[in-house]
Amino acid sequence: QHGEEECKLNAIEACAIRTWPDPILHFSFIMCVEEDTKHWKSCVPDPRSLKAINDCYSGDLSKKLILEYAKQTLSLKPKHEYVPWVTLNGK
């Protein structure tokens, strides 16, 4: 929607969700990133997690995750009309 930088950050956030499946952990990271997108690495709490996110982003996994999220978005019923589009229990 907003260019190459947003695509990069979406992939990084997808990798963070993969790194920290617990919503409490990845949501705080995403909130931090959205507040200061240029310094997203400072939002990572430890070097091991930063390596995991970088490895994911640099490899094919980030592309696979983005495609999976795109499929989920396209399968929404009703179809999403704007962002954010919130669903709860499939409705």
14-67 pLDDT tens trace: 999 999 999 999 999 999 999 999 999 999 999 999 999 999 999 999 999 999
DSSP structural state of residue 56: H
- pLDDT-based confidence at residue 1 (cuts at 50, 70, 90): low
pTM of structure: 0.84
Radius of gyration of the chain (CA): 14
Q: Please report the pLDDT score of residue 2 as a whole number.
A: 67
Neighbours of 44 (CB within 10 A): 21
